[in-house]
């Protein structure tokens, strides 16, 4: 069995009463889960950053249109 217990400092202490194979499998599963979570978080961050950059580019285009039409200050869709 794999026992998961808190010690006095609220840190995890693993009590392993099982074969080495089970321990290795458990560690591999934990590592895979952590990697998947990290990849998903990184993808979300990349999408958010890409959308922010796209929004900034759109604002810059609108501002450039305003500068080009300096006399009338017309905002046009680019």
- Give 56 or 20, the one with higher predicted confidence: 56
pLDDT at 16: 47
pLDDT at 26: 81
Mean pLDDT of the chain: 73
pLDDT digits (tens, 9 = 90+) for 40-56: 999 999 999 999 999 88
d(CA 18, CA 2): 7
When pLDDT is averaged across residues 56-67 and rounded to a whole number, the result is: 75
d(CA 78, CA 65): 8
Among candidates 69, 74, 37, 5, which has minimal Cα distance to 45?
Answer: 37
Among candidates 2, 24, 30, which has minimal Cα distance to 14?
Answer: 2
Query: What Rg value do the Cα atoms of the chain yield, rounded?
Result: 27
pTM for the full model?
0.43
């Amino acid at each position: 069995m794999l026992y998961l217990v808190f010690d006095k400092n609220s840190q995890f202490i693993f009590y392993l009463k099982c074969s080495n194979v089970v321990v290795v499998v458990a560690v591999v599963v934990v590592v895979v889960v952590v990697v998947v979570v990290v990849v998903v978080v990184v993808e979300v961050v990349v999408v958010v950053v890409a959308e922010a950059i796209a929004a900034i580019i759109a604002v810059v285009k609108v501002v450039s249109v305003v500068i080009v039409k300096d006399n009338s200050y017309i905002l046009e869709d680019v």
